Amino acid sequence: MFPQLFRPRGPAAVERPTQRDPGSTSNDNTFNDPRSSTRSSVSIADVETGFLPGENTTRKEWKKAFPPSSLLAKHHRSSSRDSDPAERAKRRLKWLTCTIIVLAIVLLGVTSAFLALQIPRRASQVKNGVELITSRWGLPSQSTQQALTMWPTDFSRDIQPIACHSHNDYWRRVPLYDALAAGCTGVEADIWTDAKSPDELFVGHTRKSLTASRTLESLYIEPLLTILDNANAPSAFSDPSANDTTVSTTPNHKTGIFSTSPSTSLTLLIDLKTDAATTFPVLLTALQPLLAANYLTTYSPASDSLVRGPITVVATGLTNFTANILSPANTTPFRFVFFDAPLAALSTLAPTAMDMAYNTTNSYYASVSFKEAIGDVGWWRREMSTMQAWEVSVMALGARDRGLVSRFWDVPGGKGEWEVLWGMGVGVLSVDDLKGVKSFLEER
């Protein structure tokens, strides 16, 4: 039936009987060909020793002599697992997981490519150095110093200063520059001293959040010094006596931060979080580079003259009015750190001698917590009551009569409260939402 393609191998190659006794019983250890009158028997031992079937081998004997390959056996096992619901569920979950991972990788690649294309486009659309720094902040190839010097005299071109104060400015993605990009004329930094580095002022909301790299010098003093140095660099074409809107009209003729309004002073509010007896002297030392360059607002007791500079430094928090602001270190030959006066005390019907002491020679801001002085805004009406609005106007008027800038912090809500505060004559809006307040004030 089958050609004898294979021959017996080894010592087993002996003649095999082709017939059996018809009366004998079939043995389980032999294979018989029922379709042939002659019966060929192959024992299991023959197969194990290498015997290969010959021409009289039946199909059944052939299959038993040559079992399915391992791949076919694996297919048989897989077929048996297909009937198991648990196995099918595992395979589906595995397939779904792999699909999600692949899609996530593809999406990440597409997003990265899109951002890589957008960064040069955004950089090419920036109008000034402030926008360049905020748009490329954090990129390893971006040098802040390079951005500061690309626009030596137009660093803040097209930015209009607005009466907003950047509350907790150091929390922003780009401290100082985000506020400047919005046009805010006030920024705030909380400072701490540490026994391990007594000459450093660290910036942060809590002591636990402090890091060695985030100091008052690195976040504010050095950038401001570079901006103002570039803006006030000597030029053969500058003429303070000419009708030049890019030149400051202040007595010292120092150009400020904002190119569109060079006489506008930026308020640097310093909130002392550690003991003023040790922190305030360190602050005075840290401000010396700005003072030496005539970039600070100063008051001279000898001549009773107040000279507005590009930066006005105001101290609050644990600052003591008498021991720090009026101290000889901050008075001789002139005062260059001013006080954040208590706003509520300026409108009292029975002011004390201390209440009457706050004026432009020693103070600049006059601030108070909105919730402490005015109260919370009821959730049921979502706006200030008439009495609350009247109290705000009285406090704002008390500060304005003394030449101070009124400021409420911890103000609940948003645009609705800004509307009342601005309408009642508050000097500056202390906010966290820079984009929102910029849009609000530009509409006024």
Do 253 and 240 form a contact (C-beta atoms < 8 A)?
A: yes
Q: What is the phi/psi pair of residue 335, to 5°? A: -90, 135
pLDDT in tens, the chain (444 residues): 444 444 454 444 444 444 445 454 444 444 444 444 444 455 555 555 454 555 555 656 655 555 555 445 555 555 555 567 788 888 888 888 999 999 999 999 888 887 776 555 554 566 667 777 777 666 554 556 665 656 566 778 889 999 999 999 999 989 999 999 999 999 999 999 999 999 999 999 999 999 999 999 999 999 999 899 988 887 766 665 555 555 555 666 788 999 899 999 999 999 999 999 999 999 999 999 999 999 999 999 999 999 999 999 999 999 999 999 999 999 989 999 999 999 999 987 777 888 889 999 999 999 999 989 988 876 555 678 889 899 999 999 999 999 999 999 988 767 888 999 999 999 999 999 999 999 999 887
Interatomic CA distance for residues 76 and 71, integer angstroms:
9
Interatomic CA distance for residues 45 and 29, integer angstroms:
8
Interatomic CA distance for residues 69 and 57, integer angstroms:
20
Residues 429-442 as b or e (16 or more Cβ within 10 Å = b):
bbbebbeebbebbe
